[in-house]
Structure formats: structure tokens, C-alpha cells
Amino acid sequence: DQQVKQNSPSLSVQEGRISILNCDYTNSMFDYFLWYKKYPAEGPTFLISISSIKDKNEDGRFTVFLNKSAKHLSLHIVPSQPGDSAVYFCAASARTSGSRLTFGEGTQLTVNP
């Protein structure tokens, strides 16, 4: 039962353009969502998060949008840079489950110079 899904295994964009990574979830108990970035041979690093009481959160070039009715969130990166090339994981947490995170399968983003 995959409760968090990232349907695009890979995404390729040109430097300077927008990257949009998508994530869907099925568990309505999830109330906090996070995006992590992972480079090869490193652990995931926290990027940005959003609480279910909000529909948007911005941090510099990164914006996360949450559509609760559709159980969908997206990460926008503008402008994209070659250093953004990495695997991006969407993760979700439910208050009732403490700090356990449920991850999606990841999307490999490649930003071409």
C-alpha cells in the first residue's frame, strides 16, 4: 500500500526554467509534508515543508503547494540550477504517528546547463 506516490521517476529541465515535482498521497491522516533532496552517497537533506493548515510555503527559489482536497502537493523550483540535480523525495507525517515519515519513491531531477 503506497500511501505517498511520486509518479514521475525522472524530470529534465533547462537551467533557468521552472522545475515542478509532483506528489500524491492517500492517507487523510497526514498533516505535515516535507521535501528532501538526496545526492549520491549522501543522506537525504531537508528542503522545505508545509503544514496541512496552509496551502503554500516559500523559501527562496523553492515553493511547495498543497491541495488537500486533491491530496496532492508539488514542489516548484524557480529558477532551476545545475546544482539542483538530485533525487527529490516527498514525505508525509501524521501527528498520530509521531515523527515517522512515509516517503514517496523519489524523482530524479536533472537540470541541464
Partner 1 sequence: ETGVTQSPTHLIKTRGQQVTLRCSSQSGHNTVSWYQQALGQGPQFIFQYYREEENGRGNFPPRFSGLQFPNYSSELNVNALELDDSALYLCASSFGTGGYYGYTFGSGTRLTVV
The minimum distance between CB 74 and partner 1, in angstroms, equals: 17
Query: CA 98: distance to chain centroid?
Result: 20
Q: Which of 41, 60, 70, 83 binds partner 1 (CB under 8 A)?
A: 41
Q: Is 7 in the site for partner 1 (CB under 8 A)?
A: no
CB 4 within 8 A of CB 90: yes
| Closest CB to partner 1 among residues 2, 14 | 2
The 3-state DSSP class for residue 84 equals helix
Q: Is 80 in the site for partner 1 (CB under 8 A)?
A: no
Q: Is 46 in the site for partner 1 (CB under 8 A)?
A: yes
- The C-alpha angle with vertex 6 and arms to 16 and 70, in degrees rounded to 5, equals 100
